[in-house]
Amino acid sequence: MKILVCISNVPDTTTKITFSADGKAFNTAGVQFVINPYDEYALTRAIELKEAQGGSVTVLNVGEADTEPNIRKALAIGADDAIRVNLKPTDAFLVSQQIAHYAQEGGYDLILMGRESIDYNGFQVHGMVGELLGIPTIAPAIKLDVNGSTATLEREIEGGKEIIEASLPLVVSAQQPMAEPRIPNMRGIMTARTKPLKVVEPVGQEAKTSVQNYELPPAKSGVKMIPAESAGDLIKLLRNEAKVL
């Protein structure tokens, strides 16, 4: 089984987000970038499937050269090879075109990625890639098993879950608890250095959206403290002052 895992490079979850004074750019100074946590669930599950059933795991990233440390990390965790499409990922459709093109070229049985990136929060790429390739997308999946050419999945829906059987090829987006992310070991880190990382040029440049500016949410005006002895007063304040009860 050939598996393609798409990863994106995002600010660490503990990052305090700030923007340039004109609101046009995200300040990356001092920010640690990581593999998008949802993509890491997809990557780990792909490696588990490969270990159990054989096959290969290729990681794909659409990004500029500064994403390579995290691509190497994915190789250290257990992917076999990597493709970096040399393009700044500014728009979901632009990214989806790259993934669909290189996925088609490689002829993968499964295309995995996270449900969304924690920076752009688009929740779009898996559906777009599926539509571009003319194959189904199951999103967001919390469980994935493969038996021959059939995948069995659990998809999270609002208020429950569904059990789905679908034929490969398939696009799947991952969410916890699909797999427990792994920390690369020393052997993985050493072998990752020599695993193939191919840099390819983008295909097409068609973007459908553009970010005009960023803004932080308004700061809270301050917290009103209620003494523990009269905790019950909180309920009255919520009804009469905040008017939410």
Partner 1 sequence: MSVLVVIECANGEVKKSSLEAASYGSKVAASLGTSATAVAIGDVQADALTRLGEQGISKVLLDNDSRLHDFVAAAYVKVIAKAAESENSTVIVLSNSNIGAAIGSRLAVKLGASLATNVVSLPQINGSSFTVRRGVFSGKAFSDVELSSDKKIIAVKKNAVDIETTDGGTATVENFSADLSDADFATAPKETIRQSGDILLTEADLVVSGGRGLKGPENWHLIEDLAKTLGAATACSKPVADVGWRPHHEHVGQTGITVSPNLYIAVGISGAIQHLAGVNSSKVIVVINKDPEAPFFKAADYGIVGDATEIVPKLIEAAKALDK
Instruction: Find the binding residues for partner 1 in span 42-81 (CB under 8 A).
Output: none
CB nearer to partner 1: give 107 or 134: 134
Q: Which stretch binds partner 1 (CB under 8 A): 1-9, 47-55, 188-196, 211-219?
A: 211-219
Structure tokens at 169: 């090829």
Neighbours of 13 (CB within 10 A): 10
3-state DSSP call for residue 227? coil
**Residue 244 engages partner 1 in binding (rule: CB under 8 A):** yes
d(CA 50, CA 237): 56
Cβ 230 to partner 1 shortest distance, Å? 8
Interface pick for partner 1 out of 52, 190, 199, 234 (rule CB under 8 A) = 234
22 binds partner 1 (CB under 8 A): no
Element (H, E) at 72: helix 68-77
CB of 32 to partner 1, least distance (A): 13
Q: Whole-angstrom Cα distance, residue 215 to residue 213? A: 7
Examine residue 200 and tell whether it contacts partner 1 (CB under 8 A): no
- 92 belongs to the binding site for partner 1 (CB under 8 A): yes
The answer to whether 89 contacts partner 1 (rule: CB under 8 A) is: no
Burial 194-221 (b: 16+ CB within 10 A, else e): ebebeeeeeeeeeeeeeeeeeeeeeeee
For helices 37-53 and 68-77, give the axis angle rounded to 10 degrees.
30
Q: Which residues contact 178 (CB under 8 A, 6 or more apart)?
A: 41, 42, 44, 45, 141, 142, 143, 144
Q: Which is nearer to partner 1, 6 or 82 (CB)?
A: 6
Please tell me whether residue 216 binds partner 1 under the rule CB under 8 A.
yes
By CB under 8 A, tell whether 102 contacts partner 1: no
Choices 16-24, 49-57, 63-71, 102-110; region in contact with partner 1 by CB under 8 A: 16-24
> Binders of partner 1 among 122-181, rule CB under 8 A?
122-128, 130-132, 136-140, 142, 155-167, 176-177
